[in-house]
Amino acid sequence: MNVKDVMTQDVFSVDANESILKAAQIMRDTNVGSVPVRQGDQVVGIITDRDIVIRNVANQKDANTSCKEVMSSQIVSCTPDTDVHEAARIMAQHQVRRIPVVDRGSLVGMVALGDLATTDILQNEAGEALSNISTPSIPNLQ
């Protein structure tokens, strides 16, 4: 089974130059905790609700800060043809709960641990990945 079989296809994204306010509103309106950041058609990062709080609010910056100033630019992603077991391994290795699905750099979906856990054969792997993701790491307060 491949990621394309379980991923969410209708994904909202935000332009790198848009404000974090716009990203936060998308998160609120769609009930998600992260939004891919794009420049044109290319995915250049991801911004999470935690990024907004830790890198912006806690540093007393305003809501007009651009997404590119707050986003994580080291993108962990997969392709639609990535095997779901490999996707779970990638999430565990990088301690993330969801990753963009890209095809030649363009966003085509998102896959989350919850998507993997809905498949009976992946419930154990999703649980193991969550266990690895939940392992505390040393904070980077910059």
Annotated domain spans of the chain: 3-133
Backbone angles phi, psi at 51, to 5 degrees: -55, -45
Provide the 10 A C-beta neighbour count for residue 61. Answer: 14
pLDDT tens column, 21-53: 999 999 999 999 999 999 998 999 999 999 999
Provide the 10 A C-beta neighbour count for residue 32. Answer: 17
pLDDT band at residue 135, thresholds of 50, 70 and 90?
low
The overall pTM is greater than 0.95? no
pLDDT tens column, 67-79: 999 999 988 999 9
> Domain 3-133 has what CATH class?
alpha beta
Does pLDDT of 133 surpass 50? Answer: no
Percent above pLDDT 70 for the chain:
83
* Distance in angstroms (rounded) separating the CA atoms of residues 96 and 112: 9
Given CA atoms 39, 30, 24, 113 in this order, what sign does their dihedral have?
A: negative
* Distance in angstroms (rounded) separating the CA atoms of residues 25 and 32: 10
Give the three-state DSSP class for 100.
Answer: strand
Query: What is the mean pLDDT of the segment spanning 97-122?
Result: 84
Q: Which residues contact 105 (CB under 8 A, 6 or more apart)?
A: 41, 42, 43
* Distance in angstroms (rounded) separating the CA atoms of residues 12 and 10: 7
* Distance in angstroms (rounded) separating the CA atoms of residues 16 and 70: 10
pLDDT of residue 65: 95
